Structure 1
Amino acid sequence: MTATQAPCTTQPSTQPSTQPSTQPSTWPPGLPRSLSYPDVPVGSVLRAAVRRWGDRTAFVHHDVELSFTELGRRAHAVAAGLAAHGIGRGDVVAVHLPNCLQYPAVYYGVLLAGATFSPTNPLLPPAALAHQLADAGARALVTWEPVLPAVRVALPATGVQTVVVTGPQQIADPGAPVELADMPDAVSLADLLAADPTDAHRDADVDPAEDLAHLAYTGGTTGVSKGVELPHRAVVTNVLQAACFSSGSVPALDDAGDVTLDQVGSAAEHPTRLGTATLINLTPWFHAMGVIGYLNGQVMAGATVVVHDRFDPAHYLADAVRYRVTSIGGAPPVFVALLQVPGIAEADLSTVRGFASGAAPLPVPLIERMRALAPGAVIAEGYGLTEVTMQATGNPPHTSGLRKPGTVGVPLPDTEVSIRPLGGGDPLPAGERGEVCIRGPQLMRGYARRPEATAEAIDPDGWFHTGDVGVLDADGYLAIVDRTKDMLLYKGYNVFPRELEELLFGTAGVAAAAVVGRPDPEAGELPVAYVVRRADDAGAALTAETVMAAVNRQLAPYQRLRDVVFVDALPVSPAGKVLKRELSARERAAATGRTATTS
């Protein structure tokens, strides 16, 4: 560091932005850099929304609508039903469901009962399910009828005492029977919904600072999942940070003392007003971005959410037009697939005012294609992790905001981002790459029953070390370069796959791409690209040679691709992250086979 370079750490100011909205700005006009977060449990979000939004449609699934009023009734009934089974403050309830109309009532019902919500992927195989339930100490499980065979295998290795079952038939008819064969102690969700929904404030004794709202498990894309402890205060804080930043609002309390929003930003800067948004959600609610951004955040803002339980790009586009959505959100693979739907260029997307992306950085060429699809729409990319509840940064979402392609924006209110050397040390100056470190009130308490892992991740000064490689520019915008675990080592040189992937996305005919290392006894790792062709003439014309020629001429010799493998699709997690570990495993297996053949 030279004498003229200051360490690069962005931190909040207590002063509101004074930049005029007529000029590109890095911060929503009128929004304070620091917010006041009410000391309330997560159930407060629902109570305020029910009073404020009433009969407005909160969720739609398979053309079945659920109003805010009815959502409140069902959630409180679930809370009462759980209480009748002895579930209360401090008990962990695993919610083992896909996105469905029942999910929001179950989620809020668990929290209103004073219990802890532990989201669980319904596609987990029995062994992984048993491990997570046991690790979480789950006392109850709310599960999906079609996956009961896996549940039956997993349960004996867990401490689960109460099993609640729902199924597709209860979307349209909450009282429809479900199959409980071979599980005589299980109950239908219909039984819980029949309980007295009178709001007895069962969460009144919850301590927002100490009691866990979520025990959420990391995605496990690079290793074994760990339980992330998120108190009510962290969840409410991050919901407010994200909602206030995106809508130009500040936290407020209603007449009953429950938390809501006061939209202070102008209609010119934030044309989507509270209580008017409509969007489609297919981000899993068992994922951080889903449950914070696409469940709590939308309930708080009075949005109507159209639920899709699986991704069908043509169906998604048809519903976007049919429901006249105001925004389109998801992970980068969602946008890649949507842009290949025949006729999308002619679809009426005139109501779309914004795109919201998370889970992984958007390649710049993909941003340009999205911008051409809906001119004038704001493309707001964000960044976060389960360990910071959900979101840490975002590109300014207001109309006059300065959005820098290739970055994931600036820190949210009260959030600090610092770039540190990969081996540890003092903050680096602007423009230098290093490990992204985050500090803020949305940070997890720690990893459940893993004090050593917690101490390794959170330093004594409260900085969470993410394992992501990033750069902060002079304006405080963060760019994610790669993950430290994805970085390749070629003949002693660090090769960051994300840089190569940006160039691949900019190559005509490439729909999606991921770069991993191929083990090599002399070089260490050879950069290899897995490529999905676009469904057009340019895609059909691609060869490994033409792709490597297009990319490698823009790279230093040590960065160049050594091979291209064409695949029909990249493996992705439910949250939309490319599972590079699967591609790396494929390369390791192939390398082992080559070694055996030549030995």
Structure 2
Amino acid sequence: MSTELSYARGAASTDLLDETIGANLDRAVAAYPDHEALVEMATGRRWTYREFGSEVDAFALGLSAAGIGKGDRVGIWAPNCAEWSITQYATAKIGAILVNINPAYRTHELEYVLKQAEITMLIAAPKFKTSDYAAMITDVRPRVDSLKDVVLIGSQEWDGLVAAGRDADPQTLTAALASLHPDDPINIQYTSGTTGFPKGATLSHRNILNNGFNVGELCDYTPDDRVCIPVPFYHCFGMVMGNLGVTTHAATMVIPAAAFDPTATLKAVAEEKCTSLYGVPTMFIAELADPNFDSYDLSSLRTGIMAGSPCPVEVMKQVVSRMGMTDVTICYGMTETSPVSTQTRVGDTLDQRVTTVGRVHPHLEIQLVDPATGEVVPRGTAGELCTRGYSVMVGYWNNPEKTAKAIDSDGWMHTEDLAVMDDEGYVAITGRIKDMVIRGGENIYPREIEEFLYTHPDIVDAQVIGVPDEKFGEELMAWIQLRPGAEPLTVDVLREFATGKLARYKIPRYIHLTEEFPMTVTGKIRKVEMRDQSVKLLGLDTNEA
């Protein structure tokens, strides 16, 4: 066994950016005014950096005229669209804190986030697919005291804000920008914990601007790059690694569709001659399986990012050979670290890209510690991955107790993920301390769903676990104890109860009615034993690796 400890510090060829997001965008606009900044495939709309900067400034001034200022929380609830990006940069310019709301949320989750973040203004799409956002907002609004304004994208209210901004004194924005500091909080992203409701990871200009920049640096971005972003903006993958990774290099953001669609993504890459493509492995698998895959000219592709879950070897081989992404990189991180802590490099071997999540990022430190003792473990030994540096969040919004639990007194963010570091500093994620289910790239925390199930009048107790699934990796299963005399609960009845209140991907696919749960002698639920029993109950043994 190696005597070297599992610790690494990221070397850097460039300094950290000591500026705000707005100031950084202004630099890109000044240096590349006629270069294309944003392309939205669904509508055919395009903006040069000069045009994008003008649109951002107008909306920022409009928000300011509406009374939104530094520190106010502005929620955004919409699928990927140009207005999402404009809002992201406009709120940053005036120091308002953008609160990302998952487009899959329903009333139960929306109400919680609006109240917890004390959102003043909510910007939302009127509807998308089966989600009637406007109706859900109408339902929830009377119960949220902080919410003063709702602005639907494409509405007269949106147009009015932009018009007011165009008529406003530009010096208002100059003064607002001058009052900001890189360490000011600028974004809240909700990430569920293993217990209770989601926690609002609060991120600063310095956090996300630098993380986006360094992700782009390791992809060798220049203004000539055109990045296809089919991953969601509400998540760090889209708004940080995507948007900020692009604008910090004065490259071009390409939005292929409002939500992931393999055909739309391939079409965008071919038509816009994208040099980089993002996605979780299941997205790349869907693109490769497109029946017309061979008809798309993907010869412009050079690099990209795959993250979210491990990439199968055969998929990576096809991404390199059939899609031409010879410089594709793998990233690992978490929302609380802005998000990326490790990344493979251009030139890393295929084996390093499919068996590891790369090496520590520039300007960051990582270490693997024994979860029981806190001591750094030797290389080759599994330990909890911890990250320290500029990327670590400001904290959980209005939750100092949870913040103190996640970030220790030495500034290390504890990920609760288990990993192994090799002699070259490459990190492989081997498991998780968290009782988390990963379904199709979505992180699902059982406790949040359990808390919701307790609201059903016939449910006495509920425990949620993940079981193997060929399509999604894992699926949700709820073990449920009913009150005496209650009618047996079916999956369909449970789905009807949860629809409109929980995001679809959080509604359990399987349920098992039980009188008791496997427990330890100290009374703790044994979810490992529940999972083993469930695999047998459902006949899923063949799915096990």
Tell me the TM-score range normalised by the shorter chain. 0.7 to 0.9
Contact 2:275/2:300, CA 8 A, preserved across alignment = yes
Q: 1:275-294 maps to which residues of 2 (within 5 A)?
A: 275-294=223-242
The superposition leaves residues 148-175 of structure 1 with CA deviations (integer Å, 9 ceiling, x where unpaired) of 11111122222444424243xx4xxxxx
Distance 1:375 1:109, change over 3 A: closer
Bigger mean CA deviation after superposition, 142-151 or 354-363? 354-363
**Is the counterpart of residue 306 in structure 1 residue 254 in structure 2?**
yes
Specify the SS of the correspondent of 1:392.
Answer: strand
In 2: Cα distance, 1:159 partner to 1:398 partner? 53
Identical pairs, percent: 27
**1:352-363 to 2 correspondences below 5 Å:** 352-363=301-312
Per-residue displacement from partner, 1:489-542 (whole Å, max 9, x unpaired)?
A: xxxxxxxx99xx9xxxxxxxxx9999x99xxxxxx9999531139xxxxxxxxx
Residue identity matched to 1:8: S
Q: Give 1:269's aligned residue.
A: none
Specify whether residues 312 and 328 from structure 1 end up closer, same or farther in structure 2 by C-alpha distance, changes over 3 A only.
same
State whether residues 164 and 187 of structure 1, in contact with CA within 8 Å, keep that contact through their aligned partners in structure 2. Answer: no
Q: How does 1:190-589 map onto structure 2 within 5 Å?
A: 190-196=162-168, 198=170, 200-201=173-174, 202-209=176-183, 211-218=184-191, 224-247=197-220, 274-307=222-255, 308-345=257-294, 347-375=296-324, 377-397=326-346, 403-486=352-435, 529-532=468-471, 585-587=508-510, 589=511
1:42-92 residue CA offsets vs partner (Å, 9 max, x unmatched): 211211111122122211112111221111111111111111122111111
d(CA) in 1 for partners of 2:44, 2:465: 50
Aligned counterpart, 1:253:
none
Question: Taking structure 1 as reference, are residues 349 and 399 closer, same or farther at Cα in structure 2, changes over 3 Å only?
Answer: farther
Q: Work out the number of aligned pairs and report it.
A: 463
Runs of 5+ consecutive residues of structure 2 not aligned to the other structure: 128-132, 447-462, 473-503, 518-536, 538-545
- Return closer, same or farther for 1:220/1:123 CA change in 2, 3 Å cut-off: farther
- Match for 1:371: what amino acid? V
SS of 2:39 mapped into structure 1: strand
Describe the shift of the 1:228–1:532 C-alpha distance in structure 2 as closer, same or farther (beyond 3 A): closer
Check the 8 A contact 1:165/1:189 in 2, yes or no.
Answer: no
Distance 1:97 1:404 in 2: 33
SS at match of 2:514: helix
2:512 counterpart of 1:590: yes
| Structure-1-length-normalised TM-score | 0.70
Which residue identity does 2:140 align to in structure 1? Answer: A
For 1:594 and 1:338, locate their aligned partners in 2 and report how far apart those are by CA, in whole Å: 44
Which amino acid counterpart does residue 9 of structure 1 have in structure 2?
Y
1:100 to 72, 81, 85: 81
Q: SS at the partner of 1:360? A: coil
How far the C-alpha of 1:486 sits from its partner, in A, is 4.8
Unmatched tracts of structure 1, length 5 or more: 14-30, 171-176, 181-185, 248-272, 488-496, 502-510, 518-523, 534-577
SS of structure 1 residue aligned to 2:231: coil
**Secondary structure of the corresponding residue to residue 103 of structure 1:** helix
Q: Is the 8 A contact 2:211 2:241 kept in 1?
A: no
Do the aligned partners of 2:231 and 2:260 also contact (CA within 8 Å) in 1? no
Secondary structure of the corresponding residue to residue 354 of structure 2: coil
In the superposition, relative to structure 1, how do residues 206 and 526 fare at CA in structure 2: closer, same or farther (>3 Å)? closer
Distance 1:81 1:36 in 2: 34
Shift of 1:483: 2.3
SS where residue 285 of structure 1 aligns? coil
Whether the 8 Å contact between 2:65 and 2:165 is mirrored in structure 1 is no
Give the corresponding residue for 1:5: 3
Equivalent-residue separation in structure 1 for 2:206 and 2:466 (angstroms): 43
Query: Which residue in 2 is equivalent to 1:69?
Result: 50
Is the CA contact 1:396–1:402 (under 8 Å) kept in the aligned structure 2?
no
- On the 8 A contact 2:384/2:415 being kept in 1, the answer is yes
- Match of 1:461, SS state, is coil
The one-letter amino acid of 1:532's match is K
Contact 2:213–2:249 under 8 Å retained in 1: no
CA distance in 1, matches of 2:47, 2:374: 52
The whole-number CA distance in structure 1 between the counterparts of 2:178 and 2:442 is 49
The farther-off stretch of 459-468 and 116-125 is: 116-125
The whole-number CA distance in structure 2 between the counterparts of 1:376 and 1:104 is 26
Distance in 1 (alpha carbons) for counterparts of 2:325 and 2:294: 15
Judged with a 3 Å threshold, the aligned counterparts in structure 2 of structure 1 residues 149 and 346 are, in CA distance, closer, same or farther, namely: closer
8 Å contact kept, 1:355–1:377: no
Q: How far, CA to CA, are the matches of 2:207 and 2:138 in structure 1?
A: 34
- Choose 395-404 or 128-137, whichever is displaced more: 395-404
What is the CA RMSD across the aligned residues, in angstroms? 3.5
Q: Which one is further off, 278-287 or 405-414?
A: 278-287
Quote the offset at 1:305 in angstroms.
2.0
